[in-house]
């Protein structure tokens, strides 16, 4: 016997991006007879319960134009401003003096130049969100093809898992600096759990600001006594490698930036969206990068700061040492900095989920909250292990990100600007995003990616491998070279693909 009743529709077994709402559904009056149906029933009820508490359970289906109605474009800028105003960006900037041996001047100038140029890439990708309603990895299908896009989706999962590790380490170090009775490991667990909770509530709660200016006020007297010149001659290779680390840190947001504008109005000016996002990134990321570089360089002249930084891997200890003179208020600020780390972890974890769903239609049926729990469970123990060698861990993770995200972003942007001529009408996101027959074959993108990786290898400079080009004195230029090689190879390969296999 069957009845019809009103109950919330769960998006658990659909890729729909609709919010859970009251809908008329057909319900069969029978008990689950198999383990599979019992599991589905449990997940169905759990999804409904979580959605009632504000937990986002949406999928990867592009948001239709009629639902992209939010006119507050400034909100996108605030999202990225808050996501980058944290100790993670401070630690990335500090890598210049702490890991590469640069002074204040070299580090700050490198931050300014690299950030000003590279933030344009995630800002350009952010335009796709309001215009098409697609997440970045779904959008990749329109140049990489349905099956080819699995490659960047998997790499994006690994990338964001790596960022979860870095965020947890730095947040844990900051919490550990508050009390001698709190270890970095416990701090990492706390940050991981908070990041998971914030992700459940969605990106709307990410608007938080942390006042780094207090550190300048407290440590300003010591900072002005430190010479801005480099203590020793700095090889060009060190500057290029530090610049590559910063660039990877910035460009890594490109696979995320479209995801947080999919509910905003698509009739807004492309340039207006770009400008808002560019400013959101630049005015948060660059000052904090510079601040981290300045304090790390100055730590060599201030014994208390040097002790806090330890062997160069305890960024949280450095911040705690700088804030030590203001006593309890300093500890309060340190806790604020630590608890702001989820502002970077939450969008990262959010995108782990959507990228996982993009890999396969089977994965798209898995509830997002289960993917988030699994990703957090993996990140926490890795963070605890990597905390003792933070900068080695960070540089290797960011380098990996740069090596794949540079050619990926180059391919997607080349397709949009050169082959589609920036015409949004050439996309059909709602009808084609999950139909391989209506998407490009992806041969050109995959071929360009493989060739580019082959070119990047001799340009790499890592602790485990230094290519001949990097060894010749260029430093790590793999990301820079890879971006331009990908543009050239994809242009030729895509032209051939369209001539041989048709327009799609």
Model confidence pLDDT, tens digit, residues 458-483:
999 887 888 999 888 888 999 999 99
For residues 38 and 155, the model is more confident at: 155
Q: How far is CA 482 from CA 55, 92, 124, 438, 451, in A?
A: 39, 22, 19, 29, 9
pLDDT digits (tens, 9 = 90+) for 71-99: 888 888 888 888 888 888 888 999 999 88
Tokens of 448: 């360009």
Look at residue 308 in the predicted model and tell me its pLDDT: 85
Averaged confidence pLDDT in the chain: 81
pLDDT digits (tens, 9 = 90+) for 211-249: 455 566 666 666 776 767 777 778 888 899 999 999 999
pLDDT at 277 over 80: yes
Look at residue 19 in the predicted model and tell me its pLDDT: 37
Q: Does domain 65-390 have CATH number 3.40.50.300?
A: no
Reported confidence tier of residue 58, pLDDT bands at 50, 70, 90: low
Judged by average pLDDT, the poorest of 5-19, 148-162, 168-182, 381-395 is 5-19
Look at residue 343 in the predicted model and tell me its pLDDT: 64
Look at residue 81 in the predicted model and tell me its pLDDT: 86
Mean pLDDT score, 340-363: 77
- DSSP, collapsed to helix, strand or coil, labels residue 25 as strand
Reported confidence tier of residue 42, pLDDT bands at 50, 70, 90: low
What is the location of CATH 1.10.4160.10 in the chain?
Answer: 65-390
Look at residue 413 in the predicted model and tell me its pLDDT: 97
Tokens of 310: 């330890």
| Cα 90 to Cα 413: distance, rounded to the nearest angstrom | 29
Q: Helices 328-339 and 315-323 sit at what angle, rounded to 10 degrees?
A: 150
pLDDT at 486 over 50: yes
- DSSP, collapsed to helix, strand or coil, labels residue 179 as coil
Say which residue the tokens 């090596």 belong to. 403
């Amino acid at each position: 016997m069957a009845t019809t009743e009103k109950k919330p529709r769960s998006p658990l077994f659909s890729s729909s991006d609709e919010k859970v709402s009251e809908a008329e559904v057909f319900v069969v009056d029978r008990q689950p007879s198999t383990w599979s149906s019992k599991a589905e029933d449990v997940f169905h009820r759990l999804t409904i319960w979580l959605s009632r508490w504000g937990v986002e359970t949406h999928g990867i289906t592009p948001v239709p134009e009629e639902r992209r109605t939010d006119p507050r474009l400034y909100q996108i800028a605030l999202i990225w401003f808050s996501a980058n105003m944290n100790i993670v960006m401070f630690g990335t900037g500090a890598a210049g003096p702490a890991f590469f041996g640069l002074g204040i001047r070299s580090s700050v100038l490198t931050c300014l130049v690299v950030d000003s140029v590279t933030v344009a890439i995630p800002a350009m990708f952010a335009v796709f969100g309001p215009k098409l309603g697609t997440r970045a990895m779904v959008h990749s299908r329109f140049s990489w093809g349905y099956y080819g896009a699995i490659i960047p989706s998997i790499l994006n999962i690994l990338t964001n898992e790596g960022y979860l590790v870095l965020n947890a380490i730095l947040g844990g170090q900051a919490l550990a600096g508050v009390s001698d009775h709190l270890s970095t490991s416990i701090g990492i667990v706390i940050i991981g759990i908070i990041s998971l909770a914030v992700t459940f509530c969605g990106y709307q709660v990410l608007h938080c600001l942390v006042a780094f200016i207090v550190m300048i006020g407290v440590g300003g007297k010591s900072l002005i006594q430190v010479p801005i010149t480099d203590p020793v001659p700095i090889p060009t290779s060190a500057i290029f490698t530090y610049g590559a680390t910063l660039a990877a840190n910035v460009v890594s947001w490109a696979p995320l930036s479209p995801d947080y504008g999919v509910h905003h109005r698509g009739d807004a000016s492309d340039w207006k969206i770009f400008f808002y996002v560019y400013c959101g990134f630049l005015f948060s990321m660059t000052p904090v990068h510079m601040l981290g570089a300045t304090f790390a360089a100055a730590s060599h002249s201030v014994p208390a700061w040097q002790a806090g930084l330890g062997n160069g891997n305890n960024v949280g200890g450095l911040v705690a040492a700088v804030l030590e003179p203001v006593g309890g208020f300093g500890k309060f600020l340190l806790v604020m900095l630590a608890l702001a780390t989820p502002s970077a972890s939450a969008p990262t974890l959010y995108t782990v989920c959507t990228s996982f769903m993009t890999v396969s239609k089977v994965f798209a049926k898995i509830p997002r909250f289960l993917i988030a729990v699994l990703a957090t469970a993996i990140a926490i123990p890795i963070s605890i292990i990597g905390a003792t060698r933070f900068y080695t861990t960070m540089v290797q993770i960011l380098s990996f990100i740069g090596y794949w995200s540079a050619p990926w972003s180059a391919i997607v942007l080349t397709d949009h600007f050169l082959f589609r001529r920036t015409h949004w009408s050439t996309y059909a996101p709602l009808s084609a995003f999950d139909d391989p027959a209506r998407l490009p074959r992806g041969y050109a993108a995959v071929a360009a990616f493989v060739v580019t990786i082959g070119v990047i290898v001799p340009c790499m400079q890592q602790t485990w491998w230094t290519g001949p080009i990097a060894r010749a004195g260029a430093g790590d230029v793999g990301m820079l070279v890879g971006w331009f090689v990908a543009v050239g190879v994809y242009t030729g390969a895509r032209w051939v693909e369209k001539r041989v296999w048709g327009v799609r």
